[in-house]
Structure 1
Amino acid sequence: MALITTFLDRQLAADAKYGGRMDLDECPPLPPTLDRHLRSCARHSAVWPRVNQEIRARCAQRPALLRLLAYAYAAMPGYRPSWQPPLPRRRVPSDPATDPLLEQWQNEEHLAREAAGEAGLDFAWREVDRQDGQGLVVNGDGHPLWETAVYPEDGFAIARYGPGRVLRELAARREMLASLDLSAKADQTILHLLAEPYAEQ
């Protein structure tokens, strides 16, 4: 479990570093579905790294939840197949505290699946100009999302919105939610953290 913890710390720190500043309104037009997916992700992107860091700290002694938290990175170098958590897709009982969150995640999943149909599952950033470090965000087929080169902090941020990663995150969050005991104060705190990115909608 120490290996997963080390890996998680490194990846969560990278997520926090590459917050991105790109204004999607200034980007060349994308297919409408892909554009909606990216805008949906960008709306909450500034909050999730901190939320994930807090969940990571509170779940340090809960290996099953750490595996779920790390699952978003399953396609990245360094993630070991042996870390993949079981995802039985347990049903979360209907509850006023969880229903809005599940509805939000269902909408995000729908957008991500449509975007995957247009641009593949996982995005990447590739440097093309060593002089100033700019590069292209490429889709799952290896084609640039935009012909415009962007700086690394923007490129890495957009690459994190690849539909594959978003779908992995959503699957893991559902399993995390299904495993919580909402009568326990510690698990209520995790529920509040999962809901926090949507609090100002």
Structure 2
Amino acid sequence: MTVIAAFLDRELAADARYGGRMDLDECPPSPPALDRYLRSRARHSAARLRINRELRALCTGRPAFLRLLAYEYAGMPGYRPSWEPAFAGGEVPPGPLSDLLLERWRDEERLAREAAEEAGLDFAWREVDRQDGQGLVIDGEGRPLWNTAVHPEDGFAIARHGPGRALRGLAAGREILGTLDPAAGTDRTVLNLLAEPYTTDG
């Protein structure tokens, strides 16, 4: 499972750029649903990076758990079909944190599906100017998200947040939630980590 961990390290490190560097106000106006979705993804990007690393360190002995954490990257270069998780659909344990997570995840799923209707499920980045490496972020229909070129470090980072990936991450999160035993100390810590971005919202 160390191969999955190395893959996650590389992919999660790249994700951190989006929340930390990209100012969406600098981009031309986006369709409303896409704009709402991208801003929601940027809001917790840095926190999710740290939390996912803590979750992986906490659950190194749980291969199924690591497969779920990697599932949002399915279809991206380097993701192996053998990592595909098995979804058992366990019942989510009741409680304030579980209820909060399910409520917030429903909101995030709605935003992702609305964005997918406007821009497709997957985004990509295409170089258009080799002199300085600038390119366009392309939506799932092959259209530029904005009629302006961006530098690779921003373009690749934005392209990583296609709605399809968010929907896979939410499916994996619900599956993780359904595997937790609130009476177990480690599982309580996992639950707290999953809920942390939402419990610390100002």
What TM-score does the superposition give when structure 2 sets the normalisation length?
0.92
Aligned 1:30-109 pairs, distance under 5 A: 30-109=30-109
Residues 18, 157 of structure 2: 8 Å contact kept: yes
Which letter does structure 1 place at the counterpart of 2:201?
E
**Ranges in structure 1 where 5+ consecutive residues have no aligned partner:** none
User: d(CA) in 2 for partners of 1:197 and 1:97?
Assistant: 12
Shift of 1:144: 0.7
Moved more, 110-119 or 90-99: 90-99
Which letter does structure 2 place at the counterpart of 1:80?
R
Q: Deviations over 1:5-50 (max 9, x none)?
A: 3322322233335655222223211111111111111111121111
Moved more, 151-160 or 8-17: 8-17
Aligned 1:128-167 pairs, distance under 5 A: 128-167=128-167
Residues 20, 158 of structure 1: 8 Å contact kept: no
Moved more, 188-197 or 85-94: 85-94
How many residues align structurally?
A: 201
User: d(CA) in 2 for partners of 1:130 and 1:115?
Assistant: 30
Moved more, 5-14 or 35-44: 5-14
**Structure 1 residues 22, 16: CA separation in 2 closer, same or farther (over 3 Å shift)?**
closer
Shift of 1:79: 1.1
Residues 136, 150 of structure 2: 8 Å contact kept: yes
Residues 36, 111 of structure 1: 8 Å contact kept: yes
**Ranges in structure 2 where 5+ consecutive residues have no aligned partner:** none
Residues 60, 66 of structure 2: 8 Å contact kept: yes
- Number of the residue aligned with 1:194: 194
User: d(CA) in 2 for partners of 1:50 and 1:153?
Assistant: 20
Shift of 1:196: 1.7
Residues 124, 139 of structure 2: 8 Å contact kept: yes
Residues 16, 45 of structure 2: 8 Å contact kept: no
Q: How well do the aligned residues superpose, as a CA RMSD in angstroms?
A: 1.7
Percentage of matched positions with identical amino acids:
69
Residues 125, 137 of structure 2: 8 Å contact kept: yes
Residues 19, 43 of structure 2: 8 Å contact kept: no
User: d(CA) in 2 for partners of 1:91 and 1:181?
Assistant: 11
**Structure 1 residues 163, 84: CA separation in 2 closer, same or farther (over 3 Å shift)?**
same
Which letter does structure 2 place at the counterpart of 1:60?
T
Which letter does structure 2 place at the counterpart of 1:108?
E
Secondary structure of 2:194's partner? helix
Which letter does structure 2 place at the counterpart of 1:190?
V
**Structure 1 residues 18, 36: CA separation in 2 closer, same or farther (over 3 Å shift)?**
closer
Which letter does structure 2 place at the counterpart of 1:170?
L
Which letter does structure 2 place at the counterpart of 1:23?
D
Higher helix share: 2
Q: Deviations over 1:32-80 (max 9, x none)?
A: 1111111111111121111111111111111010000010110101212
What TM-score does the superposition give when structure 1 sets the normalisation length?
0.92
Which letter does structure 1 place at the counterpart of 2:172?
A
User: d(CA) in 1 for partners of 2:159 and 2:20?
Assistant: 10
